[in-house]
């Protein structure tokens, strides 16, 4: 076929590039392009790199780019974009530096968003600020896509002050600008600032609502997360998969089973149960709300179980004290050839702890390190120590505290102290208390446990001494509490608090269980029980 000039040849080959999918087909078209003298055509090679990006063949894209002597800005942008899309962030930055050092071409508004994203993904704040400086020197001073990428980068560096400066100086903002800043505040738990931005933004999207819900859940503000979820629905915004995943942990922590069930029905109707993440969140919700049977049914119906699915189910069994179910699930996970992670073994160790399977606990702890090369964290050591201590293997537990590569925390020493009361081991108890006094000097519970150990051993002088010490000190009492859901509203009851609505009615119901006591006696018993929950 005869062509009149390079442009006509380029226009002929450009549409053909979308038809080729495999490496062998690419070689054929590449050979034909080279034969027609287009081996240095930035226009054609930009199209080819873009197509490589779509099919994920970055090895071939790299060869194409490296073969060009003088790439233009479009080809540079194409390869930087392709590397970023395929998570090859060091390569994206390397090409960006090459563009600055060796090319007459300068970065433009299509270069910087991907350069900023690569810097953010690499976690290099220093490099990100350098590229920001280049934007001032070379780039467009006002371009919303570039500025949004800059805000997103700074929020990922936890640099909210810098992100705010960019946001405040923007001549034009879109919903992405607002969402990026809100997400940054929410991720760091700065919900007061996030809420102020959320309420002042001109237009809210599902991303805006989800960022706030996720932020409240991450900050432990579960009631606020659920309330905002309801407000989102009242505003006419239909929840998507991400918003469901964001609110379900709040349902789990507050025991809001009714909302959790509604989400399950809604997700099934919308086809969201095909999403593994939604199923995983529902399994966790059912497990923590006491409905382990529903969790198992949902787990068994899942087709695409990932490591989170298996780990969540194992943790669910552990939460219900069903070590056999947890171990059987782990065995199934191995048969399915799904590689476990640290959360998997945390659930297994917790399950072993509930029923005193200390030998199995040691086995899984060793398997984690030796078979799967997972470095145990302090949570794993804490679980192992709890397994051993609960099973009466206090000497082994103490030995682990001495040999673990990090300093034991208050949870570990507290676990040892709790086990000492059952075993009557005063020596280990005193050692644990010495560390707890240093780590948690104002926590009354540690002294209460030691006092109970002294009482069990008949050392009443020590009991009296500790009680006097507690009364004189400024220690904190942590009252017990429980949650119950009534008419889709979660009610919290705190020990010793008689200010709750319907207190008298509650006492009247309790009277049915103790017909020989009048209401005042019952009320006093409740108060005494509340005091006993915290020790005195």
Tens of pLDDT, residues 251-299:
999 988 999 999 999 999 999 999 999 999 999 999 999 999 999 999 9
Q: What's the length of the chain?
A: 536
**Across 232-261, average pLDDT:** 94
pLDDT band at 445 (very low <50, low <70, confident <90, very high): low
**Across 341-348, average pLDDT:** 96
Residue 52 near residue 61 (C-beta atoms within 8 A): yes
Can you give the pLDDT at residue 102? Answer: 78
Can you give the pLDDT at residue 140? Answer: 73
Can you give the pLDDT at residue 250? Answer: 94
Note if the pTM is more than 0.85.
no
Helix (H, G, I), strand (E, B) or coil at 370: helix
Which of the pair, 411 or 232, is modelled with greater confidence? 232
Q: What is the DSSP letter of 376?
A: P
CA distance 147 to 163: 9
Can you give the pLDDT at residue 413? Answer: 79
User: Is the alpha carbon torsion for 13, 19, 23, 28 positive or negative?
Assistant: negative
Task: Determine how β-strand 489-494 pairs with β-strand 481-486.
Answer: antiparallel
Can you give the pLDDT at residue 432? Answer: 74
**Across 342-353, average pLDDT:** 94
Q: Which residues contact 441 (CB under 8 A, 6 or more apart)?
A: none
DSSP class per residue in 247-268:
HHHHHHHHT-HHHHHHHHHHHH
Lowest-pLDDT range, 59-63, 409-413, 467-471? Answer: 467-471
**Cα of 334 vs its chain's centroid, Å:** 24
Query: Look-up: residue for tokens 């090679």?
Result: 45
pLDDT band at 57 (very low <50, low <70, confident <90, very high): confident
Residue 379 near residue 385 (C-beta atoms within 8 A): no
Lowest-pLDDT range, 138-142, 191-195, 279-283, 407-411? Answer: 138-142
DSSP class per residue in 414-483:
HHHHHHHHHHT-HHHHHHHHHHHHHH-TTBHHHHHHHHHHHHHTT-HHHHHHHHHHHHHS-PBP---EEE
User: Is the alpha carbon torsion for 145, 150, 154, 156 positive or negative?
Assistant: positive
Lowest-pLDDT range, 7-11, 229-233, 342-346, 493-497? Answer: 493-497
Lowest-pLDDT range, 41-45, 366-370, 502-506? Answer: 502-506
CA distance 488 to 258: 6
CA distance 282 to 284: 5
Residue 376 near residue 385 (C-beta atoms within 8 A): no
Q: Which helix (H) or strand (E) holds 345?
A: helix 342-355
Can you give the pLDDT at residue 69? Answer: 86
**Across 473-492, average pLDDT:** 55
Q: Which of 358, 348, 363 is nearest to 386 (CA)?
A: 358
> Which two three-digit tokens encode residue 180?
């990026």
How confident is the model over 64-106, as pLDDT tens digits?
Answer: 899 888 888 999 999 999 999 999 999 999 999 999 887 677 8
How confident is the model over 164-184, as pLDDT tens digits?
Answer: 999 999 988 999 999 999 999
Can you give the pLDDT at residue 192? Answer: 94
Helix (H, G, I), strand (E, B) or coil at 114: helix
pLDDT higher than 60, residue 446: yes
> Which two three-digit tokens encode residue 386?
């709890």
> Which two three-digit tokens encode residue 31?
């050979």
How confident is the model over 1-43, as pLDDT tens digits?
Answer: 444 556 666 666 666 676 666 667 767 777 777 777 777 778 8
pLDDT higher than 80, residue 511: no
> Which two three-digit tokens encode residue 521?
């006696």
Q: What is the DSSP letter of 66?
A: H
Q: 220's torsion region: left (phi>0), alpha (psi -120 to 50) or beta? A: left
Can you give the pLDDT at residue 354? Answer: 83
Q: What residues form DSSP beta bridges with 187?
A: none
- Domains in the chain: ranges and CATH: 204-304 (1.25.40), 319-376 (no CATH), 378-476 (1.25.40.10), 481-533 (no CATH)
């Amino acid at each position: 076929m005869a062509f009149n000039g390079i442009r006509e040849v380029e226009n002929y080959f450009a549409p053909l590039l979308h038809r080729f999918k495999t490496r062998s087909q690419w070689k054929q078209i590449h050979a034909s392009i080279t034969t027609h003298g287009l081996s240095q055509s930035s226009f054609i090679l930009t199209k080819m790199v873009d197509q490589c990006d779509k099919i994920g063949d970055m090895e071939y894209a790299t060869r194409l780019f490296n073969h060009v002597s003088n790439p233009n800005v479009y080809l540079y942008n194409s390869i930087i974009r392709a590397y970023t899309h395929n998570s090859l962030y060091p390569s994206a930055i390397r090409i960006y530096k090459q563009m600055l050092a060796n090319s007459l071409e300068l970065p433009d508004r299509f270069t910087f968003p991907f350069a900023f994203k690569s810097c953010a993904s690499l976690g290099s704040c220093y490099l990100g600020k350098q590229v920001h400086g280049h934007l001032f020197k070379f780039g467009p001073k006002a371009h919303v896509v570039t500025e949004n990428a800059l805000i997103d980068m700074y929020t990922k560096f936890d640099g909210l002050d810098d992100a705010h400066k960019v946001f405040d100086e923007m001549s034009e903002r879109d919903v992405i600008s607002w969402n990026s800043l809100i997400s940054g505040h929410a991720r760091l738990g700065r919900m007061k600032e996030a809420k102020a931005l959320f309420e002042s933004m001109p237009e809210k999207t599902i991303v805006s609502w989800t960022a706030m819900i996720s932020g409240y859940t991450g900050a432990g503000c579960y009631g606020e997360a659920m309330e905002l979820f309801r407000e989102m629905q009242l505003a006419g915004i239909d929840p998507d998969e991400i918003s469901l995943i964001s609110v379900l942990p709040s349902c789990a922590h507050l025991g809001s089973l009714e909302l959790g069930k509604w989400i399950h029905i809604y997700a099934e109707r919308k086809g969201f149960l095909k999403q593994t993440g939604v199923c995983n969140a529902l399994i966790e919700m059912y497990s923590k709300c006491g409905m382990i049977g529903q969790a198992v049914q949902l787990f068994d119906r899942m087709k695409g179980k990932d490591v989170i699915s298996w780990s969540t189910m194992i943790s669910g069994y552990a939460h219900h004290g069903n070590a056999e179910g947890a171990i059987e699930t782990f065995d199934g996970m191995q048969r399915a050839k799904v590689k476990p992670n640290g959360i998997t073994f945390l659930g297994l160790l917790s399950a072993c702890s509930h029923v005193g399977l200390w030998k199995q606990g040691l086995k899984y702890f060793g398997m984690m390190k030796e078979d799967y090369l997972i470095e145990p964290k302090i949570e794993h050591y804490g679980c192992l120590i709890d397994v051993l201590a609960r099973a009466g293997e206090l000497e082994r537990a103490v030995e682990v505290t001495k040999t673990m590569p990090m300093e034991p925390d208050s949870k570990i020493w507290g676990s040892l102290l709790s086990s000492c009361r059952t075993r009557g081991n005063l020596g280990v108890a005193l050692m644990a208390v010495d560390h707890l006094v240093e780590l948690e000097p104002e926590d009354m519970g540690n002294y209460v446990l030691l006092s109970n150990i002294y009482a069990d051993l008949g050392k009443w002088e020590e009991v009296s001494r500790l009680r006097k010490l507690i009364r004189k000190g400024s220690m904190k009492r942590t009252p017990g509490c429980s949650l119950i859901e009534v008419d889709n509203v979660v009610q919290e009851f705190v020990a010793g608090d008689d200010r709750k609505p319907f207190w008298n009615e509650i006492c009247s119901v309790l009277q049915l269980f103790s017909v020989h006591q009048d209401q005042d006696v019952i009320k006093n018993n409740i108060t005494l029980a509340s005091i006993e929950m915290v020790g005195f």
